[in-house]
Amino acid sequence: MKISRVVLFMMFFFIGIGYSQNKLSGSVVNSNNKPVANAKIYLDSIYSNVETDRKGNFELSFPQNVATINVYSNEYGLLSNKFSNEKVMNFMFLNSPLPSGERIQKGGVLKMVYSKQTNEYKVNTAKGSSVETDKNAVVYNTIYDLLRGRLPGVTVSRNNSISIRGISSVRNISDPLFVVDGVIVSSIDFISPNNVKKVSVLKGAEASIYGSRGSSGVIVIKTK
């Protein structure tokens, strides 16, 4: 019995390590050292659902394996900083406010993607959040680049591992199920981003039609 308890303790200990979280706080100011409110905090290309408060401060917790912290202000634009497990990270916008024509209009959606050519994050805006036929798709080198930051609630790590937010049980630690043109596939490496017509995400009751195979969520891809 004692051995079983020790084994059980060790299992939960290592599970806790696997799900350990980073905690980060900081502030965002402009070139006059004035606070920038409502700036959105992004973990790589994924929105953290955290914004700076009226004093320009933010605080959040997030999983391991985040490489870059991005801050986007509708007034000033984008700032990026490599993340090396800091506890505090402050940002300052040195440029003047963006012209009104370059700001996201009401109802617009922010899409942040990583460019391998320039080794930096870039911002595009669109009226919708689903991946449909998109003239910007030609800039993506792989299907993972296309998905990264384009689907709400979907995280694509730098090593192309995919997870769906809201599915966090210990059992569901694998990649989601992939369905391409109605066929279940083991990998989506073969898909050209230029050939993608639509991508949708299923989880919970919607994914239950695939049985236990859909327990980690389902990503459905329709090609042209």
Q: Which of 37-41, 65-69, 129-133, 194-198 has the lowest average pLDDT?
A: 129-133
Structure confidence by residue, pLDDT tens digits, 23-43: 899 999 988 889 999 999 988
Among 74, 92, 72, smallest CA distance to 26 is for: 92
pTM for the model stands at 0.50
Task: Compute the residue count for the chain.
Answer: 224
CB 154 within 8 A of CB 195: no
Residue 141: other Cβ atoms inside 10 A: 12
Is the pLDDT assigned to residue 222 strictly greater than 90? no
Q: Which domains does the chain have, with CATH numbers?
A: 20-99 (2.60.40.1120), 128-224 (2.170.130.10)
CB 83 within 8 A of CB 23: no
- The residue-averaged pLDDT of 128-139 equals 45
Residue 152 is given by DSSP the state: T
CA–CA gap between residue 24 and residue 176 (Å, rounded):
28
Higher pLDDT, 193 or 87: 87
Quickly state the pLDDT bin for 133 (edges 50, 70, 90): very low
- Residue 169 has what pLDDT? 46
φ, ψ dihedrals at 162, nearest 5°: -115, 135
Q: Which residues of 170-195 are buried (b: 16+ CB within 10 A; e: fewer)?
A: eeeeebbbbbbeeeeeeebeebebee
- Ramachandran class of 206: left when φ > 0, alpha when ψ lies in -120 to 50, beta otherwise: alpha
